Amino acid sequence: MNSSSYNLEHSKVQEQVVEVVAELSGDSTQVLRLIQKQLFLESLFIDGNRPKSLRILRSLTADNDDQLAKSLSWLLLAEGKTNADASTLSLLRDLHWDLNCDLESSRQLLLQEILDRLPSNDTPDPNRLVNLIDEALKYQQMVNPYYFPDFKDSKPSESVSFYRDFGRTVTPEKRLLNLPVRLKLKLSLHEDEIWYVRYSNSGRFLASASVDKNIVIYDAENNYTVYKKLTGHKGSIIYLSWSHDDGKLITSSFDQTIKIWDLENDTCTTIRNQTFFNSNLRIWSVEFVGEDNSFVIGSPDKELALFDSEGFAIHDFTPEYRIDDLTVINDEMIFAITHSCELLIFSMKDKDYRLVNTVKIGKKLTAISSSPGDNEHVLINVKPDELQLWNVKDVEKPYLENKYYGLQQSDYIIRGCLSDRNLVLSGSEDGLVYVWNTRFGNLVGSLQGHKSLINCIAWRPNKNGVRDGCEWASCGDDREVNVWGF
């Protein structure tokens, strides 16, 4: 009901309005005069009812509001709005009245005058109720365990209704179709188990690394056609990382070497640093750090060190524990998991190389990962059937934010994936991909697509936020890379 529907001429309505305002501000007399003034102007200029205007004027005179009564008397004696002179128009402006005003506009003006007399903390903002309802609907959407954010270039997958709860209009089967869980492509270019997949920072390329000692790079923007095939390692390739500009790859292998591949010049550099590396050092994890192509390596032989692009050591962190895996956030913080079930947090910020924190998790940790679009979380795969999401926004006080259950990983290293679309994904020893809601931890679904153990999952960066760019890849012992999406 709008403001023009209320019968302000009724004394009880006026009393109710005055009581509410008096309770908030104590200014009941002035509000009653505002109501009488507006009724007078409506009667005179909208209804053309001079006798009614006169009755209202007399009630004002009885209340001894001489100045307002004089102003309204002047208007009553005027010949009409069509012949209004400059003095009359000036008086109308002082009374906040527009000669072209209708009843609804008049009530809105009255409402605003009343609101202006209330203390600011008791005055609602414009469209306050509408905004509250909108926020409530969005909150209901966000707390739904099957909610998936919409894309910039597509319509909402499920409309939000004022009349019923979000999620009641769509069946669970149909809701799963609104998630990027359709198997789009199978890439079968390796001759042995595939242990690692990773998208480039721009999302254009996907690289896969295999026990067959080869790396295959696919052009994700051209239906995943082969862009390059890299050969040179003498052992199974276990890890790879992209440079910031996507121009280089760095890989580690069971042949105990690190190689940097220049994709533009088709060159490969094997890092040889006999001062640092001895013949028995195993290198499992390697990550590019910064735009100068420095890199950090982690080893189960209790080594964690930072190198420049030529392979010269910048800093040796000399950890006390065996490093099983690591990830880097913001080119400043290293998060490493150990064979002794700890999460180690190291700082490289401003070349202040130090161990910031040690978190004892108490369970066998197999892999750690982070999302390029999320600087506050790391995802850890934990034996035998668990993933843990840690909030590391405050590295001095990291905390466990959520857990995800259902997968099997008792014997092998499995790398899960933290997406930017409210989903957590992981492979499993049973050949299924498990998908959870990031916030609530509920299992959304399990997907068939591989024939055996799934080793790694990678989410494609989608900086434009478009539906077609929402893809992810999985790889396994069946020698296949699967690409998933809508």
Contact 383, 364 (CB under 8 A): yes
The residue ranking higher by pLDDT, 5 or 188, is 188
The residue ranking higher by pLDDT, 82 or 68, is 68
Which 8-state DSSP code applies to residue 56? H
**Is the full-model pTM beyond 0.75?**
no
The residue ranking higher by pLDDT, 17 or 90, is 90
| Three-state DSSP class for residue 141 | helix
Mean pLDDT rounded to a whole number for the chain: 87
Spacing of C-alpha 369 from chain mean position:
18
B/e letters for 44-83, b = 16+ CB within 10 Å, e = fewer, are bbeeeeeebbeebbeebeeeebeebbebbeebeebeebee
Q: How large a percentage of the chain has pLDDT more than 90?
A: 56
Supply the pLDDT for residue 87: 82
Supply the pLDDT for residue 74: 84
Q: Residue 111: how many CB atoms within 10 A of its CB?
A: 15
Least confident of 6-10, 102-106, 437-441, 459-463: 6-10
**Cα–Cα distance for residue pair 65/302, rounded to 1 Å:** 90
Q: Residue written as tokens 């012992």?
A: 477
* Cis bond upstream, residue 384 (ω within 30): yes
Listed in order, strand segments (DSSP E) in 204-257 are 205-210, 214-219, 225-231, 237-242, 248-253
pLDDT over 50 at 325, yes or no: yes
Supply the pLDDT for residue 280: 73
Supply the pLDDT for residue 155: 65
| CA-to-CA separations, 340 to 44, 302, 344, 392, in angstroms, rounded | 88, 11, 11, 20
State the Cα torsion 53-57-58-59 to the nearest 10°.
110
Supply the pLDDT for residue 92: 86
Supply the pLDDT for residue 364: 96
Supply the pLDDT for residue 377: 97
Closest by alpha carbon to 428, among 441, 443, 438, 297?
A: 443
Phi, psi of 475 (to 5 degrees): -140, 155
Question: To which H or E segment does residue 297 belong?
Answer: strand 294-299
| CA-to-CA separations, 236 to 119, 239, 257, 431, in angstroms, rounded | 73, 10, 11, 21
pLDDT over 60 at 10, yes or no: no
Instruction: Encode pLDDT of 412-423 as tens digits.
Output: 999 999 998 889
**Cα–Cα distance for residue pair 169/295, rounded to 1 Å:** 50
pLDDT over 80 at 218, yes or no: yes
The amino acid present at 149, given as its one-letter code, is P
Least confident of 6-20, 62-76, 212-226: 6-20
Least confident of 166-180, 225-239, 338-352, 414-428: 166-180
pLDDT over 50 at 319, yes or no: yes
Sign of CA dihedral 148, 150, 154, 157: positive
Supply the pLDDT for residue 2: 47
Give residue 400's pLDDT band: very low, low, confident or very high (50, 70, 90).
very high
pLDDT over 80 at 84, yes or no: no
Supply the pLDDT for residue 5: 44
pLDDT over 80 at 66, yes or no: no
